[in-house]
Structure 1
Amino acid sequence: MTSLQCSDDDMSLVEEQHPPPAPAVPAVGPLPDAVTEEELMSSGHELPEGHTCPLCCLPIALPAAQHSKFQPCCMKTVCNGCTHASRKRGMGKSCAFCRTPTPESGATTLALVRKRVDAKDPLATEFLAGAYYRGCHGLTQDVPRAIELWMESAILGDLDAHYKLGAMYFTGEGVEKDEDRGIRHWQHAAIRGNPDSRFMLGIDEYENGNHELAVQHWMISAKMGDDDSLNEIKDMFMKGHATKAQYAEALKGYQNALEETKSPQREEAKKIQWK
């Protein structure tokens, strides 16, 4: 759930404007195991642990990067509400979770991250991959290095790394295009609760004319609080590919998921447009 950008914004690798293309390299790392349709549809209906704020213990609304901040000192993702509360207590220059002083430069941030990368921390490795991908925090852009690090992070179990590798292989960005490998990465992450991967599996099924399967995928991610999935189901309903009952069920599940993420301090942070 770490942001790939040097700011707090977060956009899908598939949808965002990509940096200049790098020469394609052959596939690296092990291919995720194949997943049966039954396993795919019966697993991954809840957000993974990393989508819960470690301070208030409430789920973080999607997209998480807009409602939380990743802390490179402790590898925790703290919701905007808890960070806002920490600032109100006069501790705005330190991590809301571990109280480490906020890094004042990209070099300081990378020094903290690299220590965790050396210790085989999957979140730190995914963060460093994102820094190489965008060429931020003082690093020169290096897409092949980013792909290597995402593969290391995926092997260590990071679901966001699987999602991003899925996007790279599916589109052929920086690697030899391999849609099947990309889908395998998305499937691996989706059955473990990654909503972005689940959404993209729905997109793939829709583009292949499998409307029923697409709706099933989006029903799952919509109930996690993913508004893009809800909008796709609404569109499918308007086109006659989803029933009124399916749309109503998805809407109710989405609203319930969103309600679970609310707290007074998060609402206060939102009102002052805290970032």
Structure 2
Amino acid sequence: MSTDETAADNMCCASCGMAELDDIKLMDCDDCDLVRYCSDECKEDHRRQHEHACKKRAAELRDKILFTQPESCHLGDCPICCLPLMFNMKDAMLQTCCSKVICKGCSHADMIREIQENRKQLTCPFCRHPKPTTVDEMKLYEMKRVAANDPVALRELGKESFQSGDYDKAFKYCTKAAKLGDVDAHYHLSFMYRNGQGVEKDLKKELYCFEEAAIGGHPRARCNLAFYEWKNSRFDRAVKHWIIAANLGYDEALHEIKNCYLMGRVSKDEFAAALRANQAAINESKSPQREAAANFIV
């Protein structure tokens, strides 16, 4: 057993050996779970000795989080029917009044109900606020959500700024949304770091943002990580990423797993398991209401 492991097991400072008592509380290393310290001075004194083991353990902990299968894609569940939302926003609608993403099945069913009740003004299926009828009203709703530090509204404003060419503003709002936990904001920030739009190019931060988005269930971000790993000949890591994305119902990832199977880098059992998980994720997102919405002709 190493000195670091002994220090952790004995609940004592890894540098000076002082034990944790009622009046002495040890603090964990900032990056790993191997050692603890009684003071900042001890942490600094022990830094060079611990640095190698710390980086190795931190990478292990990061990989454990990175390669854990998310419960659902980054959009989560529809807040009305509670069925999983898929990553394709053509099957869902963002409500500017409350920043909720509603599946088109629930939105369509609510619209039919309100028409049958002869409602003069349609309302949001979730918060029942009157729906905006003009672009100006929609913008007003959005800015109210931005003022309330709503991460979805902040990210959407960042995307709008990006599309208009104001990269500095886009980076500002996407960064703020990412800090508040918005997965899509991390995804968009990764491209800004890659292309140097509103910020200096930075490969490490690009990959970090892709990782944060992937951890949050963003299948496209995870596929980007897979292609990066494949390009660098880390084939096992690439396959892990594609399997996780396929398990979320992302067909592009399943296609890549098929290619890996044909090349002999994925076993028959692994390919079959990915096929089953992919189809199960797709089936979980289906409902009669969503099918009716998809078949609705204006």
TM value normalised by structure 1: 0.79
2:71 aligned partner:
46
AA matched with 1:60: L
CA offsets per residue over residues 119-143 of structure 1, 9 Å max, x none? 11111101111111223xxxxx412
Within-5 A mapping of 1:100-119: 100-119=129-148
> Identity, % of aligned pairs?
37
RMSD: 2.1
How far is the alpha carbon of 1:48 from its aligned partner? Answer: 5.8
User: 1:200 is paired with a residue of what secondary structure?
Assistant: helix
2:216 aligned partner:
192
Alignment counterpart, residue 83 of structure 2, candidates 29, 36, 58: 58
Counterpart-to-counterpart distance in 1, 2:277 and 2:80: 25
Which structure carries more relative contact order (alpha carbon 8 Å, separation 6+)? 1
2:170–2:198 Cα contact (<8 Å) kept = no
Aligned residues: 235
Within-5 A mapping of 1:252-267: 252-267=276-291
Within-5 A mapping of 1:210-221: 210-221=234-245
Asked if 1:83 corresponds to 2:83, the answer is: no
Question: Relative to 1, partners in 2 of residues 1:171 and 1:212: Cα closer, same or farther, differing over 3 Å?
Answer: farther
CA offsets per residue over residues 91-148 of structure 1, 9 Å max, x none? 683322222222223222121111111111111101111111223xxxxx41221111
AA matched with 1:159: V
2:63 aligned partner:
37
1:44–1:190 Cα contact (<8 Å) kept = no
Counterpart-to-counterpart distance in 1, 2:222 and 2:283: 21
CA offsets per residue over residues 33-62 of structure 1, 9 Å max, x none? 976223311x35222674210110100123
2:158–2:174 Cα contact (<8 Å) kept = yes
> Which structure has the bigger radius of gyration?
2
Question: Relative to 1, partners in 2 of residues 1:49 and 1:213: Cα closer, same or farther, differing over 3 Å?
Answer: closer
1:169 aligned partner:
193
User: 2:286 is paired with a residue of what secondary structure?
Assistant: coil
Question: Relative to 1, partners in 2 of residues 1:171 and 1:239: Cα closer, same or farther, differing over 3 Å?
Answer: farther
Question: Relative to 1, partners in 2 of residues 1:174 and 1:157: Cα closer, same or farther, differing over 3 Å?
Answer: same
Counterpart-to-counterpart distance in 2, 1:271 and 1:122: 32
2:93 aligned partner:
69
Counterpart-to-counterpart distance in 1, 2:266 and 2:69: 22
Asked if 1:229 corresponds to 2:253, the answer is: yes
User: 2:248 is paired with a residue of what secondary structure?
Assistant: coil
More helix by share: 2
2:122 aligned partner:
93
Counterpart-to-counterpart distance in 2, 1:99 and 1:156: 25
CA offsets per residue over residues 170-198 of structure 1, 9 Å max, x none? 34344322111111111122223232322
Within-5 A mapping of 1:202-213: 202-213=226-237
1:58–1:261 Cα contact (<8 Å) kept = yes
Counterpart-to-counterpart distance in 2, 1:160 and 1:56: 22
Unaligned 5+ segments in structure 2 are: 1-57
1:4 aligned partner:
none
Unaligned 5+ segments in structure 1 are: 1-32, 136-140
Counterpart-to-counterpart distance in 2, 1:166 and 1:46: 23
2:12 aligned partner:
none
Counterpart-to-counterpart distance in 2, 1:162 and 1:44: 18
How far is the alpha carbon of 1:247 from its aligned partner? Answer: 1.5
After the TM superposition, which segments of 4 or more aligned residues of structure 1 sit over 6 Å from their partners? none
2:74–2:216 Cα contact (<8 Å) kept = no
1:132–1:145 Cα contact (<8 Å) kept = yes
Question: Relative to 1, partners in 2 of residues 1:44 and 1:189: Cα closer, same or farther, differing over 3 Å?
Answer: farther
Counterpart-to-counterpart distance in 2, 1:273 and 1:255: 27
TM value normalised by structure 2: 0.73
